[in-house]
Amino acid sequence: MRPLLSRRALIAAGSATAASLVSSCEKMSDSPNLRWLLDFGEFMSLHAQRALLAGQPLVREYAEADITPDFPPNGTERPAGMGYFQLVMSNFAAFRLTVDGLVDNPLSLSMDEIKALPARTQITQHNCDEGWTAIGQWTGVPLAHLLKTAGIKPEARYIVFHCLDEMVRTPDRSGFYYESIDLFDAFHPQTILAYGMNGKTLPLAHGAPLRLRVERQIGYKHAKYVARVEAVDRLDRIGKGKGGFWEDRGYQWYAGQ
Amino acid sequence: MADVEHETAPAPALPITAPPMAAGTAATPLPMPPDAAPDSAPAREVMYRHSITVRITHWANVVFLTLLLMSGLCIFNYHPSLYWGNYGYRGVPAFLSIAALEDIETDEPVGVTTIAGHRFITTGVLGLSYNAEGAPVGVAFPPWMTLPGGPGLALARDWHFAAAWLFVLNGLAYLLYGLLSGHFRRDLLPASRELRGRNVLGEIWSHLRLSRARGDAARRYNVLQKLAYMAVAFVLLPVMVLTGLTMSPAVTAAMPFLFDLFGGRQSARTIHFITANLIVLFVLVHVIQVFVAGAFSGMRAMITGYFPIRPEKAR
């Protein structure tokens, strides 16, 4: 049978390809030729989940009895630097949250002013990208309320959260944590800037005085120590241009999983 | 005859069949019945066994499941503990955990796997492995099993979600084909007579003897094959997808019943891991069975579609 040889060659070639596939995946990951494949999952999840969430359902909320003890803090647990230290010593009396960028009326709010705004309390599941989850109660001002008060301009597409914690110390001070979400998530009723956790003031380790809760995405999107909320039309001019501290280091911008 | 040469030709070194090679070599020296000697064998019939859709989706699955497994193990390494219920983190009692600990007698690091309170020393494979220089590395699954082979959660997640979508699209194509073409009804659904105890026991016995199907019996899957393939295609793989989706806060916002279906967010993660292990177990048995049944003809059938039918033994 003549075709036998060619078939055998085909199988051998196929097996060689399969053998090299997995071992070379890593090297290929660095190559821009493969970036489209690595981005395929994020692209598909973003569009499929946006279709699934078109009705803006709420994530499941739990009872007080479900709150887990010792909710683990992740990332920065106490920002370094004199500026933050002084804020802590003054019990955040000198703290101001800035809401600016593509808005009609930029805001500068003290913690007392923020706590006087309409508040939302929710008991939700926190999902870390490493795999652990914990349940906590969060109290804060809905981001939608701040954005409506500031009057967001029609060309705004993303909301950027600038944080007080410097993850990487560099001479140009570009290593501060930051995050961004689009308006779909920014106006979701459960997207809040929280100042309370489990019925108490938000602890330092969890992002005092203010942290983001964006419940339909995972851990690293929930920026802590938020001091400035900026409305922008594009993300490529901030940080390294990928929309967040971890995104600039290879993590997916859309993290609904 | 060329056909007989196929059977005795040394199996090409295929990476996916590499681990069970020992089982394959154990199976090949099975005594060939004298009546199956090349000179007395009747002309062997070749049947068209696997459609092009089945062949393409099968090999695509090999690639996607390999990527999913390896990237999944890398993600697992970032929190190598599994829990039951709705929550789980460092300090919460774990159902399974893999860690590098220190032996209090020797002060040497050891890999320890704890399952339901039982501790197993798994140094070298789980919890603690050695790098190329022989230095111990505290990592749950060793780098040779993971994608990427070392730290890289962002990259592992990129691979995992890209491969997951490709796997789902491939699986949907297969399910659609299987339903519309009659492949499921014709080839996978066992007839009621096949499910009778006597037949099932007979099949188990013939599997234990590592005997090869001949004649008419070789034309179709046996009942154990049918049940195994159906369990994988309709239970294990769908459970993988659903437990994976249960870990998505976006998906569960729209479908909170997924939490209840699997008994909570962390239970879903644990079931995801256990089911992945069951799929690996299936693949090992499946590859061993391909060797028992004739590695070359089996491999050729899944590539070209054509499968040689071994004639009935002369009685």
- Residue B21, pLDDT > 70, answer no
Is A130 at the interface with chain B, CB within 8 A?
yes
**% of chain A at pLDDT higher than 90:** 84
Cα radius of gyration (chain B): 23
Amino acid present at A23? S
Is A46 at the interface with chain B, CB within 8 A?
no
Is A150 at the interface with chain B, CB within 8 A?
no
Tens-digit pLDDT profile for residues B45-55: 899 999 999 99
Confidence of residue B314 (pLDDT cuts 50, 70, 90): low
A37: nearest CA partner in chain B? B162
Amino acid present at B208? L
Interface test with B, best of A132, A181, A247 (most B CBs within 10 A): A132
> Which one is predicted more confidently, B272 or A81?
B272
**What pLDDT, on the 0 to 100 scale, is given for residue B41?**
52
Smallest Cα distance from A91 to chain B, Å: 30
Tens-digit pLDDT profile for residues A169-192: 988 888 999 999 999 999 999 999
- Residue B264, pLDDT > 50, answer yes
**What pLDDT, on the 0 to 100 scale, is given for residue B63?**
98
Q: What is the mean pLDDT of chain B?
A: 87
Instruction: Select from A105, A108, A106, A81 the least CA-distant residue to A94.
Output: A108
- Residue A14, pLDDT > 90, answer no
Q: What is the mean pLDDT of chain A?
A: 90
**What pLDDT, on the 0 to 100 scale, is given for residue A67?**
98
How large is the average pLDDT for residues A30-54?
A: 91
Which secondary-structure segment (H or E) carries B177?
helix B153-181
CB contact under 8 A, A257 and B148: no
B94: nearest CA partner in chain A? A132
How large is the average pLDDT for residues B200-227?
A: 90
**What pLDDT, on the 0 to 100 scale, is given for residue B10?**
41
How large is the average pLDDT for residues A122-144?
A: 97
A21: nearest CA partner in chain B? B63
Instruction: Select from B291, B187, B218, B303 the least CA-distant residue to B45.
Output: B218
**What pLDDT, on the 0 to 100 scale, is given for residue B42?**
57
**What pLDDT, on the 0 to 100 scale, is given for residue B29?**
40
**% of chain B at pLDDT higher than 70:** 86
Instruction: Select from A210, A253, A207 the least CA-distant residue to A228.
Output: A210
**What pLDDT, on the 0 to 100 scale, is given for residue A12?**
42
Smallest Cα distance from A127 to chain B, Å: 7
**What pLDDT, on the 0 to 100 scale, is given for residue A5?**
36
Smallest Cα distance from B139 to chain A, Å: 14
How large is the average pLDDT for residues A95-111?
A: 98
The residue assigned the tokens 């279709």 is A51
B62: nearest CA partner in chain A? A18
**What pLDDT, on the 0 to 100 scale, is given for residue B32?**
43
Peptide bond into A209 cis (omega under 30): yes
Tens-digit pLDDT profile for residues B27-36: 334 444 444 4
Confidence of residue B4 (pLDDT cuts 50, 70, 90): very low
Instruction: Compute the distance between CA of residue B311 and CA of residue A80 in angstroms, rounded to an integer.
Output: 79
Which residues 219-238 of chain A have a CB within 8 Å of chain B?
Answer: none
Instruction: Compute the distance between CA of residue B23 and CA of residue B13 in angstroms, rounded to an integer.
Output: 14
Tens-digit pLDDT profile for residues A73-82: 999 999 999 9
Instruction: Select from B290, B306, B289 the least CA-distant residue to B51.
Output: B306
pTM greater than 0.90: no
Confidence of residue B219 (pLDDT cuts 50, 70, 90): confident
**What pLDDT, on the 0 to 100 scale, is given for residue B212?**
84
Confidence of residue B211 (pLDDT cuts 50, 70, 90): confident
